[in-house]
A and B are shown apart, each in its own frame.
Chain A
Amino acid sequence: MAGKSGREISAEVKGGIRSKILSWEGALILILVAVNILGVVISPNYNVSNVLREMPRYLAEIFMMFGMGYILVLGDIDISVGALVCLAGTVTVLSSNAGLPFGLAVVVCLLVGLLGGMLNGFIATRFTELPTMIVTLGTQIIFRGIAEVLFETWGNGGGTASMTDTKGLMLLAQKIGPFPIAFFCVIIVGIIMITVLAKTTFGRKLYAIGSNKTAAYYAGIKVEKMRFICYSLLGMLAGLCALFLLTATFGSNTTTGQGFEMEVIAMCVFGGIATTGGKGNLIGGFIAAFIIVCLRIALGQRNINTQVILVIIGLMLIISVLVPSISNSIAARKKRSAA
């Protein structure tokens, strides 16, 4: 059942076109369309150019959503990535300001992300008895702590630094037509990540580990190696996120990336990926990410209180997780009344 949708709307319908429409992904597409229609209805400024212009900051987060999807499918979790974005961004800005050419700064950015991810992976796989939530809580504090120390020692103090040579970032912030470059990168990375998870043995192994770690181990899957790879991959995507975030902020500070880890996990869960592992697919997460982004932009344009927007997204998340149990209980009641 690898690649199976992590969430069922109806417990009864199996097979046929109806099941496709009633799948969680089908529902998500409908929600996405609905959100876009809602946007047009409530805001006169909700149009292609405005939505795409407001999008880059959110697009950066979506890179990490793919990596987080892998981690969640494994049944693990990583809450350090927001801080890792901060660290990667900070190192990039400071090294660029110290005279590193932009091309190398990009490499440094991805490398810092990769190393951070490898550290997570190393601790999580060497000390398997530790819950990954705790491991990454620790590294979260470490990453942000290092970033703050870097600001103090190499920055101009004050916990913030902006890039002095912005030429390279300007290049990345460019648009092709109305589309920011980040948009294409997200699509490309997305297609690769979705295909690998859904269509390759590598992806299949992740589902196996997430479903039953012990069985996967006895089936000959190198469980710890796979986990290490996934953590490293997520780290590198955090580096990519930091890079594209820089194209919006042209600098880094001690609050950069704050809360990103939770937003990214929310996208995955809303997309149907179960945090217990072994269930869900990235297409769902991908659509869910755009639903959340479009909803934020639409409500933002109506000047709805940002705290209220957070409440709405929180409610959506809870309801989406409740859908299977609600529909199951309805089905059970029907069966009972039929009998």
Chain B
Amino acid sequence: MKKKVLSVLLATTVVASLLAGCGSSAAAPAADAAPAADAAPAADAAAPAASSGGATYALVTKSAGNPFMERMASGFQEAVEASGGTVVIQNPEAATPDAQISVVQSLISQGVSSIAVDGNDANALTAVLTEASNAGIKVLSLDSDVAPDTRAVYCNQAGVQQIGETLMEAVYDLTGGEGDWAILSATSQATNQNAWIDAMKKLMESDSKYAKLNLVEVAYGDDEPQKSTDQTQALLQNYPDLKVICAPTTVGIAAAAKVLQDQKSSVKLTGLGLPSEMAEYIGDDDAHSCPYMYLWNPIDLGRLAGYTSIALVDGSITGAAGDKFTAGELGDYTIEEIDGSTQIILGPPFKFDPSNIDEWKSVY
């Protein structure tokens, strides 16, 4: 009997303490919450007149410990702080949309002015981002897009078509126009990776120039160095006639470069990589695995997202096609409508080869 009473007592206390814990706070923060909710519209109204001071701009990256994300975050921070805003940078605990949902939920509670998100999944964030928009928060995406109707605008590092064409041309050049090649991608659900791969596949079908190229496999290294290494080794083993690996991901290309160079493989590598990580692998001779590769500047991408956040919050753009704004030192940008979604394109991918890698490897 005693036990029964105790267990009932405990169960009710759990609920009660939870309510009490939250309840006691309800009174105090109710006062806090109200101004917080007011603060966002107030900032909206005040911002065009003055600066963006007072507003808080959040950036949600894909995951922690990714050099590309860190550079992107530093650019974002620089742009926002230069104009007097407060920055919140959140790295989710894992590279999953679930972890990003928790982070965005927390940012909604904090009543931030804008959320720029690098989506781990195109659709899984739909519900939570809609909730953010309903709470008056400006939502934009960068690097990897989310569902178009859940955000105002997407800061695209380069047009999908542009990247597809550039990489396809590189594969064509390195294979000599014919033979086996493979793709080493990140995760199988990464939006940007899939879009680029699709663009490359379409180019191979539509352009007879690429008819003699044979894409043997799209391997997924999940943006983990070890898994990318394993996948590269598997590719080398399974396809002895392989000529080129194209890795449109910074983690994948670095892992593949090391494997190819260590094994003194004749397979050549290209794709998208960070100059600082790839410098020792870039070279025209046989001792180096990667003759050249491409990337945009992640710092500039972060900056662009920062300036876009500010412009959205102060009301100078709404995210509609045709809106124009100035992104600080990056220059003027116009929002374009591409495939039914509004985007801002940073610029064409930049080529890193033996002639310029030394000056870039210390930058990022």
Contact = CB atoms under 8 A, between A and B. Distances in A.
B223 to A, nearest CB: 12
Nearest to A283: B10
A13 interface: no
B32 A45 contact: yes
Interface in B32-59: 32-33, 36
A283 B110 CA distance: 32
A226 interface: no
A39 B112 CA distance: 18
Contacts of B102: 54, 57-58, 296, 300
Interface string A217-261: 000000000000000000000000000010111110111111100
Contacts of B93: 306-307, 309-310
Given A248-B101, A303-B88, A294 B21 contact: yes
Contacts of B94: 255, 258-259
Chain A interface residue bracket vs B: 35 or more
Given A37-B21, A40-B24, A306 B97 contact: no
Contact of A158 (B17, B128, B188): B188
Contacts of A297: 106, 109
B21 to A, nearest CB: 3
Contact of A160 (B92, B101, B109, B122): B122
Contacts of A247: 127
A33 B123 contact: no
Interface in B89-131: 90-99, 101-103, 105-106, 108-111, 120-124, 126-128, 131
Contacts of B128: 248
Given A33-B21, A50-B109, A148-B188, A306 B91 contact: yes
23 contacts: A36-B17, A36-B18, A36-B21, A40-B24, A44-B32, A47-B30, A50-B109, A53-B105, A157-B194, A159-B187, A161-B123, A162-B123, A245-B98, A250-B123, A251-B124, A255-B120, A255-B187, A286-B11, A286-B14, A294-B18, A305-B64, A305-B91, A309-B93
A264 to B, nearest CB: 14
Interface of A is mostly: helix
Residue among B26, B98, B108 having the largest count of chain A Cβ atoms under 10 Å: B98
A15 B122 CA distance: 57
B64 A306 contact: yes
Given A39-B25, A45-B29, A57-B98, A160 B126 contact: no
Contact of A306 (B92, B98, B120): B92
Contact of B188 (A25, A45, A48, A254): A254
Contacts of B15: 187
Interface stretch (A68-76, A118-126, A191-199): A191-199
Interface string B63-98: 010000000000000000000000010111111111
Contacts, number: 192
Contact of A45 (B10, B14, B20, B111): B111
B6 A20 contact: yes
B189 A158 contact: yes
The 6 closest A-B pairs by CB, nearest first: A36-B21, A162-B123, A159-B188, A159-B189, A306-B93, A300-B106
Contacts of B91: 305-307
A44 B36 contact: yes
A283 B18 CA distance: 14
Contacts of B95: 255
A321 interface: no
A250 B103 contact: no
B22 interface: yes
A74 to B, nearest CB: 21
A329 to B, nearest CB: 28
Contacts of A259: 94
Nearest to A44: B32
Contacts of B111: 45
Contacts of A58: 102
Nearest to B2: A20
B22 A48 contact: yes
A32 B189 contact: no
Contacts of B14: 29, 32, 283, 286-287, 290
A322 B6 CA distance: 25
Interface in B267-285: none
